[in-house]
């Protein structure tokens, strides 16, 4: 039986209107599309959701809308991380108050804490919320890596229940799976590495590609969960070009361009995110065409 925050979770994009406001109707539609597609949990206001550019009120509103649309059908793991521990404690309390099921908390970035600082940061957050916390380790963005020994310490804190591991270091992932308790949830944070990580003990993925292909990503993870790696590999092979093109430029630029081409959202970003370069857009459109996911002719896709 699947536990909460295992399987395929979607790191939801945050759709904006052309004027730059939250597109609340699109947020609801995207959440419903994910649930109807069979994903196992939703992750609003993470990196893919452009959380650094959201105001506190917008962050709250996005999570509220996703919770309302989920309506208990799938858990909602709300983004609540950053470099100011006191502010994250306050944000965690707000996410708990509005009904989130858990928190995805990225490591502090820019200030580069020591391993002890990381431990104390997450301990402080955990002591001020009843919600389960999934640590988000993405050193390529934060300049800060959670070493396996530190993660093993964090796993001893009752409501720190898992890690989204996006270091891209499979040797580190193997060591993490070796040193944490069996019930600690290791999740892949790099779509192309989902199957290798699940082979060594990860329990799913927090995915970007499932924004575009929720049903296929969910089925791929479910196949791996039942040790049907033949079926999982077939889906992985089909989706790999999409997984890769989503990072042809900084996430979430490509995935938002793709979703706009699919007719799911307006293509709108907030600075410092900008539309993809023409050559990147051509790659995105080419992959969507191969997967038969274009909603409009390529020449009609806005730049």
Q: What is the dihedral of CA 234, 236, 241, 247, to 10 degrees?
A: 180
- How far apart, in whole angstroms, are the C-alpha atoms of residue 173 and residue 188? 9
CA distances (Å), origin 175, targets 167, 172, 203? 13, 5, 15
Catalytically annotated residue among 83, 136, 219, 256: 136
- How far apart, in whole angstroms, are the C-alpha atoms of residue 136 and residue 134? 6
**Residue where the block lists tokens 């706009």:** 260
For residue 110, indicate whether it is catalytic. no
Catalytically annotated residue among 32, 110, 112, 164: 164
**Cβ atoms of residues 179 and 148 within 8 Å:** yes
Residue among 242, 245, 234 nearest 213 (CA): 242
Paired tokens of 230:
């033949």
Paired tokens of 215:
């049903």
**Residue where the block lists tokens 């699940």:** 198
For residue 83, indicate whether it is catalytic. no
Residue among 202, 233, 54 nearest 12 (CA): 54
User: Is-cis flag, bond preceding 252, omega within 30?
Assistant: yes
Q: At what angle do helices 24-36 and 56-70 cross, to 10 degrees?
A: 40
- How far apart, in whole angstroms, are the C-alpha atoms of residue 211 and residue 293? 12
CB atoms within 10 A of CB 35: 19
User: Which alpha helices (H) appear in 11-131, and where do they start and end?
Assistant: 24-36, 56-70, 85-98, 115-127
Largest CA distance in the chain: 54
Residues with active-site annotation: 136, 164
């Amino acid at each position: 039986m699947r536990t909460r925050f295992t399987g395929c979770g979607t790191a939801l994009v945050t759709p904006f209107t052309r004027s730059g406001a939250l597109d609340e109707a699109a947020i609801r539609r995207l959440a419903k599309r994910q649930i109807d597609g069979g994903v196992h949990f939703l992750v609003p206001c993470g990196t893919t959701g452009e959380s650094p550019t959201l105001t506190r009120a917008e962050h709250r509103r996005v999570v509220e809308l996703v919770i309302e649309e989920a309506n208990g059908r799938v858990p909602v793991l709300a983004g609540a991380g950053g470099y100011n521990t006191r502010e994250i404690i306050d944000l965690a309390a707000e996410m708990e108050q509005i009904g989130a099921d858990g928190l995805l908390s990225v490591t502090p970035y820019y200030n580069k804490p020591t391993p002890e600082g990381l431990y104390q940061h997450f301990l402080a957050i955990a002591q001020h919320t009843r919600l389960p916390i999934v640590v988000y380790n993405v050193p390529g963005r934060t300049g800060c890596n959670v070493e396996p020994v530190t993660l093993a310490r964090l796993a001893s804190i009752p409501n720190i229940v898992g890690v989204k591991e996006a270091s891209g270091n499979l040797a580190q992932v193997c060591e993490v799976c070796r040193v944490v308790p069996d019930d600690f949830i290791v999740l892949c944070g790099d779509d192309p590495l989902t199957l290798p990580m699940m082979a060594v003990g990860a329990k799913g993925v927090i995915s970007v590609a499932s924004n575009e292909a929720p049903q296929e990503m969910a089925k791929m993870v479910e196949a791996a969960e039942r040790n049907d790696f033949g079926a999982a590999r077939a889906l992985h092979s089909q989706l790999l070009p999409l997984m890769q093109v989503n990072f042809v430029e900084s996430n979430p630029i490509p995935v938002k361009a793709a979703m706009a081409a699919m007719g799911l959202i307006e293509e709108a970003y907030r600075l410092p995110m900008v539309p993809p370069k023409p050559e990147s857009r051509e790659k995105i459109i080419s992959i969507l065409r191969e997967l038969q996911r274009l909603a409009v002719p390529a020449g009609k896709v806005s730049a």
